[in-house]
Structure 1
């Protein structure tokens, strides 16, 4: 009993650590994205109108990028409140749509096909699945029931369906390493699972997999965070520089003509 409580505590702590690390990786893009939106809005509202009055007096034809920027500035100035309300309504509808079964399936399908997100997501789900299975199997729950129960802790419709199907196949006599769909486990965990089944020491290999996946996930999330920071700052600089270049392009063109 004491060992089970310790294992449950360790699993909870590991899941919370991974969740915090994943949120840390996602938090930086949210902050930079919000900052970029504020900076661009400030430029469009405060700076672009001054150039617009200047260029209207010049009477020359503006480059397409500058025309787009001027049109966007007019839209924000004259219909800013309506645009904001529309954006809020659109985001609210999107958020509510994600709560529906169809929305969850669509979002899951998209996440499973993104180059960077998909493999990281698979390892996160593998870690959560293995941690939960280790606890349940060590508590005496048979593997088919443990797989079905673990489906409830994985926030992915495709993952849940695959776990339920694997549980059904094992009940019908199929070996567990063959019943588990390849998309359920990371390549490393598939190897460990197969070794555990063939050696008759599945719980021991589940523990090894949980520990190894925990270290791998921590390292990958740390690398992702360190990569996102300079990349997003560069994107912010490019956006700001692009706006300023579009503003000054007519002046550069006028200088070349003179």
Structure 2
């Protein structure tokens, strides 16, 4: 049943907006009047465009929508999992979740997906019309659940997966707020000292004709440079940020950058663990949902954020299709931790590959939690140490001429 967006007046003459499902625009107006509402405008919630030739007379919904946030996607996945798991039809579940949705664009997306489902499309195919809101790996997991006949269970696993990602993201973001503020204050304090305090003190000593210590001369030179060229420094920094953002959007540059970063001593190991944990979690859900191994690997590859890792997964897929074992193919690419490779090999031998992927993900995520905790605990003192060194050097550059002046012989 099509979905319509309406704008109407209620009994009190107050204007309200919302969505309604009806067979036609006339039926929608009739339904609004039965609710004692005077319709002002009614229009389809979706815009329909014909599919390319050879795909029949059905339509593809092209909806202008905002991208769903990670939290919104997690919430609607949890709600759909509960409703579908309880035996409610998919179309009715989508309609109910849409009616309870908070933001307007969320309701529009869900109602448009519902329209496609009521027209006979599978849920995974209906989600294909909204790739920005429903990632490729999400759609692949839904498709695997539909094929295996366990959509509700797959949505439950998806919701758990999204909740864990959201929890880690929220935890890291919240923990980084204080260090970010501290860093901003540190940079501001040092810039203030260098541009206002050091020049005033330098004026006092240069007029005495004394030879200043090396550290003091260096600080005065840096201060003068910052005063004379600060517009160029700010503009250059802004241009560097814009240029970096543009270059990192190019796949070739991003692949090289991701490969270099992943080989760095500390952060590289952390990023490799992040990608390996996401890969194992995705593979666990897909394999346990009944997805074929090459298809599951392709979906997991699309979920990866590191382009260098995507390239290695492409080689793993190629090895699998030539008959090589999964654990052997993964070991040959040199990215995955030894424990994960051992558990995956055990899963291949025992026929419990999905379970072993899930256990590997649990272990890797525990290691990541420990790494995040240790890293965040060390970040604050590191920032304070850098701030202390910077301010200490500035203060020392001021004190050295004073000490030199006090030790000069009178005469």
In the superposition, the TM-score normalised over structure 2's length comes to 0.59
Give the structure 1 partner of residue 295 of structure 2. 145
Q: 1:203 aligns with which of 354, 374, 381?
A: 354
Give the structure 2 partner of residue 133 of structure 1. 283
Contact 1:25 1:221 in 2 (8 A): no
Is 1:82 the equivalent of 2:232?
yes
Larger-Rg structure: 2
Q: 2:366 aligns with which of 202, 215, 220?
A: 215
Is 1:186 the equivalent of 2:337?
yes
Structure 2: distance between partners of 1:240 and 1:51: 15
Structure 1: distance between partners of 2:287 and 2:258: 28
Contact 2:301 2:314 in 1 (8 A): yes
Structure 2: distance between partners of 1:49 and 1:193: 64
Structure 2 residues not aligned, in runs of 5+: 1-149
Structure 1 residues not aligned, in runs of 5+: none
Structure 2: distance between partners of 1:101 and 1:239: 38
Give the structure 1 partner of residue 14 of structure 2. none
Moved more, 25-34 or 182-191: 25-34
Per-residue Cα deviation, 1:164-205 (whole angstroms, up to 9, x for no partner)? 110111111000000114533222211211111122211111
Structure 2: distance between partners of 1:191 and 1:18: 26
Give the structure 1 partner of residue 385 of structure 2. 234
- Greater helix proportion: 1
Is 1:164 the equivalent of 2:314?
yes
Is 1:111 the equivalent of 2:261?
yes
The structural deviation recorded for 1:68 is 2.1
SS in 1 for 2:207: helix
Structure 2: distance between partners of 1:25 and 1:152: 29
Structure 1: distance between partners of 2:260 and 2:398: 37
The structural deviation recorded for 1:66 is 1.7
Equivalent residues, number:
258
Q: Structure 1 residues 64 and 96 mapped into 2: Cα distance closer, same or farther (>3 Å)?
A: farther
The structural deviation recorded for 1:7 is 0.7
Per-residue Cα deviation, 1:180-238 (whole angstroms, up to 9, x for no partner)? 14533222211211111122211111121122222221122111111111222122111
Contact 2:285 2:358 in 1 (8 A): no
Give the structure 2 partner of residue 11 of structure 1. 161
Contact 1:14 1:214 in 2 (8 A): no
Q: 2:182 aligns with which of 23, 32, 40?
A: 32
- Greater strand proportion: 2
Determine which structure has greater relative contact order: mean sequence separation of CA pairs < 8 Å that are 6+ residues apart, divided by chain length.
1
Give the structure 1 partner of residue 200 of structure 2. 50
The structural deviation recorded for 1:149 is 1.7
Contact 1:15 1:128 in 2 (8 A): no
